[in-house]
Amino acid sequence: MRNLRRPNANDATGTFNRSRNAVPMSGLCTRCIDGCKGGCEVWLASFRGREVLYPQPFGKITAGADKDYPVDYSHLNIQGYARGAKGLEGEAGPDKAIFSNVDTTTEYGWEKKVKMLLPIFTGALGSTKIARRNWEHFAVGAAISGITIVCGENVCGVDPELELDSKGKVKKSPEMDRRIEIYRRFHEGYGEILVQMNVEDRRLGVAEYIANKHNLETIELKWGQGAKSIGGEIKVKTIERAIELKKRGYIVLPDPENPAIREAYKGGGIKEFERHSRLGFVSKESFMEEVDRLKRIGFKRITLKTGAYSAVELAM
């Protein structure tokens, strides 16, 4: 089914897309830029949310639905019912069945449960610069909203101030410490922070670090990226940084230790390098062994991000 109506921007709410192109399903600009000054509905809702609940200027206009036929997503309406109500204690009535009284709380976990005020997980905010720069906004918002925030892969491995012990394991990661401490400073008892772990994170001992230093209860195993069947990547500008990441165990392209690449970089022919993560190939036996290992370390809940793989992979 198509989406003929562009969501996230409408004259009725005084909103618009900055970009000429927008994602049909969400209405987000295809280039959603950090620091954008507006003005789509997501941008406006991030700090003046109530202004997108009703057509503006409220009380001075009559608004109509701009549905564009043939049938598309915008024509799907939520059908309610006028006889009784579910989820209420006692008899339902017009003074009790009010939308603001809806209970949106939920919980997850088999034995050790986590309560949430809203059934929402954030996307994984990993080692990219934009995730690092905006972590505080996401972490504080998630903490006071009572939802769970996911700290993505490679945060320790890409930390410029990372310290490793004699065995090549994480001894100190100020960036990981910062992220966890910001969230906990505003945490009000609902939701939690969990950390993703990929192949490189496992080799660096990230699970042991966050369990021993921060007593985190949940960790997420990551098999691959959600959008593609390759590992995550970032770009770095200097050859010194590229060599550092290679020595920490990452795949770096082109190889910064290749003499020909060094010469090309010195002459200005190569201006940046790509750091790639490995795919988390698994078998049923190795997966269950890893789950048992993480439980022995002290984790009470273990989640899984499969990546762009089919249900066959889950069925093993």
* pLDDT 10s digits, 286-295: 889 999 999 9
* CA 3 – CA 25 distance, rounded (Å): 6
pLDDT at 265 exceeding the cut of 90 = yes
Lowest average pLDDT, out of 17-26, 66-75, 108-117, 209-218, goes to: 66-75
Question: Is residue 96 assigned to a domain?
Answer: no
Regarding whether 288 and 145 lie in a shared domain, the answer is: yes
As a whole number, the mean pLDDT across the chain is 88
The predicted pLDDT at position 1 comes to 52
Question: Is residue 98 assigned to a domain?
Answer: no
Question: Is residue 141 assigned to a domain?
Answer: yes
Question: Is residue 191 assigned to a domain?
Answer: yes
Torsion (CA) 154, 155, 158, 164 in degrees, nearest 10: -100
Regarding whether 132 and 184 lie in a shared domain, the answer is: yes
The predicted pLDDT at position 316 comes to 64
Q: Select the more confidently predicted residue: 104 or 47.
A: 104
Lowest average pLDDT, out of 36-45, 60-69, 120-129, goes to: 60-69
* CA 284 – CA 264 distance, rounded (Å): 45
3-state class (DSSP) for residue 41: helix
Question: Is residue 50 assigned to a domain?
Answer: yes
Regarding whether 292 and 171 lie in a shared domain, the answer is: yes
The predicted pLDDT at position 48 comes to 82
3-state class (DSSP) for residue 290: helix
The predicted pLDDT at position 3 comes to 59
Which residue spans within 165-281 are E strands per DSSP?
170-172, 193-197, 218-222, 233-236, 251-253, 273-276
Regarding whether 224 and 139 lie in a shared domain, the answer is: yes
CB-count burial class (<10 Å; 0-12, 13-18, 19+) for 274: middle
> Tens of pLDDT along 4-13?
667 888 888 8
Mean pLDDT of 135-156: 96
**In which residue are the tokens 């003929």 written?**
4
What range defines the domain where residue 241 resides? 236-276
Q: Select the more confidently predicted residue: 280 or 271.
A: 271
Backbone dihedral angles phi then psi of residue 207, each to the nearest 5 degrees: -60, -45
The predicted pLDDT at position 17 comes to 93
* CA 265 – CA 233 distance, rounded (Å): 20
Q: How many of the other CB atoms lie within 10 Å of CB of 300?
A: 16
Question: Is residue 72 assigned to a domain?
Answer: yes
**Residues 301 and 218 sit within 8 Å (Cβ to Cβ):** yes
Per-residue pLDDT band for 212 (boundaries 50, 70, 90) equals very high
Of 29, 59, 77, which one is at a domain's C-terminal end? 77
Per-residue pLDDT band for 70 (boundaries 50, 70, 90) equals low
Question: Is residue 270 assigned to a domain?
Answer: yes
Regarding whether 167 and 31 lie in a shared domain, the answer is: no
Regarding whether 303 and 266 lie in a shared domain, the answer is: no
Regarding whether 292 and 158 lie in a shared domain, the answer is: yes
Regarding whether 131 and 220 lie in a shared domain, the answer is: yes
How many domains, in total, are found in the chain? 3
pLDDT at 51 exceeding the cut of 80 = no
Strand 148-151 relative to strand 163-164, pairing: unpaired
Q: How many of the other CB atoms lie within 10 Å of CB of 115?
A: 14
Regarding whether 47 and 111 lie in a shared domain, the answer is: no
Mean pLDDT of 196-216: 96
Q: How many of the other CB atoms lie within 10 Å of CB of 301?
A: 20
Regarding whether 225 and 118 lie in a shared domain, the answer is: yes
Question: Is residue 216 assigned to a domain?
Answer: yes
Regarding whether 301 and 270 lie in a shared domain, the answer is: no
Q: Select the more confidently predicted residue: 163 or 54.
A: 163
pLDDT at 2 exceeding the cut of 60 = no
pLDDT at 83 exceeding the cut of 90 = no
Regarding whether 33 and 47 lie in a shared domain, the answer is: yes
